[in-house]
Amino acid sequence: MNRSLSWLGAIPLTLLLAACGGGDGDSASAPANTDGGSTANNGGNTPVDTFSIGGTVSGLPDGTQLSLLDNGANAQSITSNGPFTLTEKLSAGSAYSVTLGAKPTGYQCNVTGGAGTMPASNITDVAIACTRITVTVGGSITGLNADGLTITNGNDTLEIPANATTFTLPTALAIGTPYNIAVSHIPTAVHCDVSNASGTAGDTPVDNVSVSCGPATLSTVYFFSETDSPSTAVTPGRDGNLYGISVGVWPNPGPDTIYKITPDGSRTVLWKLDTGFDGSEPSSPLLEGNDGNFYGMTDQGGTYGEGTVYRITPAGAETVLWSFGGPGDGWAPTGQLLQASDGNFYGITWDGGPGTRGAIFRLTPNGEERVMLFLGDYDLDANWYSGLIQGRDGNLYGQAEMALFKMTLDGTLSIVSSYAGREHDIGNSPVGSLIQANDGNFYGVMSQGGAYGAGTLFRVSPSGATTVLHAFGGDVDPDQDYGDSPTGAPFQAADGNLYGVSEDALYSVTLDGTYTVLHSFQDDDETQGYSPIDTISQGADGTLYGVTTGGGPNDHGSVFKLN
């Protein structure tokens, strides 16, 4: 045996195999890991298993992107919702932390399960949830002592109760969203202003909107010219305009005129009534019919000289539907025309028939008239009547001088309540029509009598029980500032209270009898008018309207509104 080769027996077999391989250990490929990771070469010596980090993204808005960081580095952009996997992989036992880099403007994104120690498997449950940042919009309220105010931001609405001091709209706004706060359905006889109403939502709540309320103020919509003065209340049309009637006044009388006034005070003459066929001396406020046209009456003129019923379109086309005074007819219509639930018009004349005590008539929309009954056939002992109203029961109700009566649509009349002998309690000389309020009772006014001799506002139940709610008499009772002799019928506004005018005041009365003067008319007030007449009316926006016969540059009166 050759002793020079005997050392080969001591060389391990593994070294011989390595030498025969002829390659560098750092360049060898890492075998696949059976647990879903991969095997990396660690310095060319020991292979290391590595694993990925992933999860899901939700709430990311279209067209935006989110930047994720792996242990504060290796930023990776995510551009859509759903699964994601970070490109950087870590070995088991390594610390990992998925954090947010850039995120969409106006959005808040939160990471769940984004930090810990890497297991010997891929991580797939990191959750990234993005939500849009929203802020509330609200502020303060002062001076609101009545229910009915609504605060809006577009279609977002909030009903505000009386005496509220703060508000927050129900819908929060995203950052960058513009807002414009407004008030609507303002309580009757209340005026509200909004400060800091507009802006753009930022990253903090909006809490500086200020709503300041107080008593409404009277302002003038229109002053009448030197040739005419209002003769009836104005009627707010469904188109937002006011419709009314004026009569010529001396020393330069113009014709009786049907007019339209826009909310900004521009007046248009729709028709001039002559003393012939059209009729003259218009006797009632205009009524807007179901067809959108307006209907009224005159107590003189027409074919027989005893008054007419006419129709006029909003554009000014006029048609006489009926002339009173023919055989078997009544004469001189009074009060306001009524369109009942059957589509026909009903009204009263104060003359004609037995004892010339007047009649109740029915008129179809195409002008066919029928006398339903002559009032002289009944024990009403009166030549004065209010206009008719239709009650909740479908019957028609009217007021004679000292009685409230009811008539069915087929013409049967009965007495609901008699006021005879109660001049010192209920009063006498009623003004205007009755109303039936939302409590089911009837309300009216007397211009004389009562506790102070200056008239009353009274209530009559459907069964005929009568109660005085308020006795007028500001010159007699020192506890009342104003309110002598009501000159128009009561009106129930949207807030449920009654409103009306007296010789020197615009007032409100609650249904339990609380009386409040809203505005005092002074006899020498040429800037706002004085001597109000007829009833109050209410526009769709809640504004109250009325007319005066004095004041203004020509001292011929005004159309006013309570803002």
What averages of pLDDT result for each successive group of 10 residues across the chain (563 residues)?
A: 37 35 39 53 67 96 92 92 94 95 91 96 96 94 91 95 95 94 88 95 95 92 93 95 93 89 95 82 92 95 94 96 95 94 96 91 97 91 84 96 94 94 90 95 95 94 96 64 81 93 92 90 78 93 92 92 86
Predicted pLDDT at 483: 64
Q: Is residue 366 part of a domain?
A: yes
The answer to whether residues 300 and 316 belong to one domain is yes
Taking the alpha carbons at both ends of the chain, their separation in whole angstroms is 130
Collapsing DSSP states into helix, strand and coil, what is residue 376? helix
Q: Is the dihedral of CA 550, 554, 556, 562 positive or negative?
A: negative
Instruction: Choose the final residue of a domain: 132, 153, 178.
Output: 132
Number of neighbouring beta carbons within 10 Å of residue 273 = 25
Number of domains in the chain: 3
The answer to whether residues 336 and 414 belong to one domain is yes
Q: Is residue 487 part of a domain?
A: no
Residues in a beta bridge with 349: 333, 359
Q: How far apart are CA 397 and CA 383, in angstroms?
A: 17
Instruction: Choose the final residue of a domain: 397, 418, 439.
Output: 418
The answer to whether residues 414 and 280 belong to one domain is yes
The answer to whether residues 167 and 185 belong to one domain is yes
Predicted pLDDT at 22: 41
Number of neighbouring beta carbons within 10 Å of residue 309 = 25
Strand runs (DSSP E) across 59-122, as ranges? 66-70, 73-78, 82-85, 90-91, 95-100, 107-112, 115-117
Q: Is residue 147 part of a domain?
A: yes
Q: Is residue 161 part of a domain?
A: yes
Q: Is residue 432 part of a domain?
A: no
* CATH label of the domain that carries residue 394: 2.120.10.30
Predicted pLDDT at 41: 55
Q: What is the pTM of this model?
A: 0.74
Collapsing DSSP states into helix, strand and coil, what is residue 474? coil
Q: How far apart are CA 153 and CA 433, in angstroms?
A: 40
Sheet of strand 413-418, all strands in order from the earlier edge strand to the far edge: 389-390, 396-400, 403-407, 413-418
The answer to whether residues 206 and 162 belong to one domain is yes
Structural domain boundaries, residue 192: 134-215
Instruction: Choose the final residue of a domain: 132, 159, 184.
Output: 132
The answer to whether residues 286 and 331 belong to one domain is yes
Residue 89 has which token pair? 């992989």
The answer to whether residues 282 and 405 belong to one domain is yes
The answer to whether residues 325 and 312 belong to one domain is yes
